[in-house]
Structure 1
Amino acid sequence: MSLPFYRPLSPTCGLRVSPLALGTLPFGGADGGHMGTLGPDDAAVLLDRCLEAGINLIDTANLYSGGVSEEVLGETLARSGRYDELLVTTKARMVVGDGPNDGGASRWHLLNEVDKSLHRIGRDHLDLFYLHHWDGETPLEETLQTMDGLVRSGKIRYYGVSNYTGWQLMKAMKVCEVNGFIKPVVQQIHYSPYSREAEYEMIPAGIDQGIGTQSWSPLGMGLLTGKFRRDQHPESGARMADGDGSELRVADWERLYGVVDVLDEVAQRNNATIPQVVLAWLLERPGVTNLAVGARSLEQWNDLLGTFEVSLDAEDTQAIDDAGRPSLAYPFWHQADMASERMSGADESIMATTKREIAEKIGE
């Protein structure tokens, strides 16, 4: 794979990663109580395809299938030295047990979970580690000092935050700056053509601070694959088959259907699939450096890898942008109306389209 295929994980990080990361939520074995069902044999097929396609980032978490996802990944990685070049990401913070300290971002919990993850994955370090969620109870200084120590010890190479709001990310950056801690380099958030809330604060904050953005579940747990239409919901086989997943919320089904309609039109114009169009659009969004996507079969994974053959033109990109763009909340609309002559790159990431609409209305 040629070097231009790879991109820095973030503007403040020298690690180069593939545009897509293989998500391992589907890993877990045959136990019906697990989130995932794929065992080591199926996982090996997907990892082999990663190597063939140049995908070098694998995303997992201690939460997935109660740690079994990490175990399946570890068993698969141990099968061949060819997998040594794959970068592994995991996460901790979520509640994973019944004890009073089996969740959160305390030093006790994070150090314990990093050691457990290393044991399950079978490596002596993690290439990237995410704080899986905000912890409003543990002092942020304690959490970030712990991360600083883990990087300096070599147990993790880089770290990031996941599901932080804009102000939480900025507070973390300030705490690191004041205390001389190593800073996070990337944020993992949910972002898709339908779920655009991150454009208000999270992505602009990342751009301003040199933090890369990785989107988790960019296909909306199946909502943006074409399986969900006004008159069609799958009975099974999709994480959102019941329309009410525990992680995602659909506030406006008609708006979702409208986004899918446009994605379908763009896909047909480009001889592509809807998932390929979704990923191609996201990879061109401001601040986005990587997308973490899971696959339950080689067929699904090959379809997602076809994203690299899709090139959307300006008309396609704008059509998707217009279909899913949320209305600006205050003070963004006021800034767009009254102060748009002095915008930074971070401001432009949310206001560029609105400024275009304003210009069209006044004939500029």
Structure 2
Amino acid sequence: MKYNFLGHSGLKVSELGFGAGTLGGKGQIFSAWGQASQAEANNMIKLCLDAGVNFFDTADVYSEGESERMLGKALAAQRSNNIISTKVSIRTSEHINHVGFSRNYLINAVEASLKRLNTDYIDVLQLHHFDSFTALEQLMKTLDELVRSGKVRYIGVSNFSGWQLMKAQAIAERYGYEKFFANQVYYSLAGRDYEWELMPLNQDQGIGAVVWSPLAWGRLTGKFDRKNPIPTASRLHETAQFAPPVQEEYLYTILDVLKAISSEIGASIPQIALQWLLQRATVSTVLIGARNEQQLNDNLKAKDLLLSDEHIQQLDQVSAVYPIYPYYPYWNGQFTERFKALQKSQFVAN
């Protein structure tokens, strides 16, 4: 297992992390993600630990808090050697104030997560989505106070736009508050929008990307292709309102190349898709959220896979999407040059 810096935090995280969204199986959305029991969770997390994984990600909203409880139990004996990341801000109940960035909610949400995780501190606290109703000055001060209290050690965001994240960073800079070092983002061979704005921002600000859904919501598992389209009864369709859209022809063209490389080198399609991400600039850790031990074992092997420069180039080309304005340099049309430059400076720890 390789270990990368989480941005400029100085904290080293495993290049593959475990996404605990499949634990618990409560609620319509998360039961479709996975329904692992505590015993199954213990076994999967042990597999991760044995492989060198030290980054474990969850959220208070996953399975009504059950994911946090199960993760806390599974890591209890190894707590000090591992990094627990959790997320808050999505509504967790019908209570009028159980959502967003207000000081009242954030402090209560952190206390509740600490209790469920059965720990004294959260290594990385991330904001699950942007809240436009709370002043960012209040938010950054509250987060700074949580870090100074010792209950939170590092802070991050998820699903923010570039201007939202940069404005928060600027406020932290102005007042001397704790800055964000993690940015949990959707990024995959079938979803490269991250590269247009957030990748350069992360590079500039020393923020590490924590990648969610690296297999494009199950589209890159190798189960589907032109002859075997995604069935209407799949978990993708059950949670379709949250899945980033992908045009079928674009997806199948990517899968054609993945299948060709898979046949050539004897690696699975998910392993190739994951290893491609591990090569990308600013990526600190890629979350794998397996539903069972078999999937997890296959995904973990991605860390040992070596892709040739030719294979990387093939994947780059087949998945490339021309950026929207103003991210394409309309004055010369060479929109790939900045990404090539970024590739030379990942946050890799020796």
Normalising to structure 2: TM-score of the pair?
0.91
**1:99 and 2:95 matched:** yes
Over residues 153-211 of structure 1, what are the superposed CA-to-partner deviations in whole Å (9 max), with x where a residue is unaligned? 10011111111111111111101111111100010000001101111101111111111
- Aligned counterpart in structure 2 of residue 257 of structure 1, from 252, 258, 273: 252
Count of residue correspondences: 340
Aligned equivalent of 1:17: 13
Higher relative contact order (CA closer than 8 Å, sequence separation 6+): 2
Secondary structure, counterpart of 2:12 in structure 1? strand
Task: State the distance in 2 between where 1:86 and 1:220 align.
Answer: 27
Aligned equivalent of 1:247: 242
Aligned equivalent of 1:210: 206
Aligned equivalent of 2:139: 143
Aligned equivalent of 2:192: 196
**1:74 and 2:72 matched:** yes
Task: State the distance in 2 between where 1:30 and 1:62 align.
Answer: 12
Aligned equivalent of 2:41: 43
Moved more, 209-218 or 228-237: 228-237
Contact kept, 8 Å, 1:212 with 1:287, in 2: the verdict is yes
Over residues 224-244 of structure 1, what are the superposed CA-to-partner deviations in whole Å (9 max), with x where a residue is unaligned? 11122123135488531x286
- Aligned counterpart in structure 2 of residue 56 of structure 1, from 32, 54, 57: 54
Task: State the distance in 1 between where 2:233 and 2:144 align.
Answer: 41
- TM-aligned CA distance change 1:171 to 1:257, over 3 Å: same
Secondary structure, counterpart of 1:174 in structure 2? helix
**1:152 and 2:148 matched:** yes
Look up the equivalent residue of 1:9 and give its one-letter code: L
How far did 1:74 drift?
Answer: 2.1
How far did 1:50 drift?
Answer: 1.5
Structure 1 or 2, whichever has the larger Rg, is 1
Look up the equivalent residue of 2:312 and give its one-letter code: T
Instruction: Show the 5 A alignment for 1:226-245.
Output: 226-235=222-231, 239-240=235-236, 242=237, 245=240
Task: State the distance in 1 between where 2:342 and 2:91 align.
Answer: 34
Secondary structure, counterpart of 2:24 in structure 1? coil
- Aligned counterpart in structure 1 of residue 5 of structure 2, from 8, 33, 58: 8
Look up the equivalent residue of 1:206 and give its one-letter code: N
Contact kept, 8 Å, 2:21 with 2:30, in 1: the verdict is no
**1:266 and 2:261 matched:** yes
Contact kept, 8 Å, 2:144 with 2:178, in 1: the verdict is yes
Secondary structure, counterpart of 1:227 in structure 2? coil
How far did 1:324 drift?
Answer: 1.1
Contact kept, 8 Å, 1:29 with 1:72, in 2: the verdict is no
How far did 1:336 drift?
Answer: 5.9
Task: State the distance in 2 between where 1:300 and 1:275 align.
Answer: 9
Secondary structure, counterpart of 1:337 in structure 2? coil
How far did 1:273 drift?
Answer: 0.4
Look up the equivalent residue of 1:64 and give its one-letter code: Y
- TM-aligned CA distance change 1:141 to 1:33, over 3 Å: closer
- TM-aligned CA distance change 1:107 to 1:286, over 3 Å: same
Aligned equivalent of 1:357: none
Could you say what the CA RMSD is over the residues aligned between the two structures, in angstroms? 2.3
Where do 5+ consecutive residues of structure 2 fail to align?
344-350
How far did 1:248 drift?
Answer: 1.6
- TM-aligned CA distance change 1:83 to 1:236, over 3 Å: farther
Look up the equivalent residue of 1:38 and give its one-letter code: A
Aligned equivalent of 2:311: 316
- TM-aligned CA distance change 1:83 to 1:182, over 3 Å: closer
- TM-aligned CA distance change 1:207 to 1:335, over 3 Å: farther
Look up the equivalent residue of 1:176 and give its one-letter code: A
Look up the equivalent residue of 2:155 and give its one-letter code: Y
Task: State the distance in 2 between where 1:24 and 1:132 align.
Answer: 15
- TM-aligned CA distance change 1:28 to 1:236, over 3 Å: farther
How far did 1:338 drift?
Answer: 7.4
Over residues 114-146 of structure 1, what are the superposed CA-to-partner deviations in whole Å (9 max), with x where a residue is unaligned? 100000010000011101111111111111111
Task: State the distance in 2 between where 1:124 and 1:232 align.
Answer: 48
Aligned equivalent of 2:321: 326
- TM-aligned CA distance change 1:311 to 1:119, over 3 Å: same
Contact kept, 8 Å, 1:92 with 1:110, in 2: the verdict is yes
How far did 1:334 drift?
Answer: 3.1
Task: State the distance in 2 between where 1:190 and 1:217 align.
Answer: 6
Aligned equivalent of 1:362: none
- Aligned counterpart in structure 1 of residue 295 of structure 2, from 286, 295, 300: 300
- TM-aligned CA distance change 1:338 to 1:69, over 3 Å: closer
Look up the equivalent residue of 2:42 and give its one-letter code: A
**1:183 and 2:174 matched:** no
Contact kept, 8 Å, 1:90 with 1:129, in 2: the verdict is yes
Look up the equivalent residue of 2:178 and give its one-letter code: I
Contact kept, 8 Å, 1:77 with 1:84, in 2: the verdict is no
Aligned equivalent of 1:360: none
- TM-aligned CA distance change 1:33 to 1:168, over 3 Å: closer
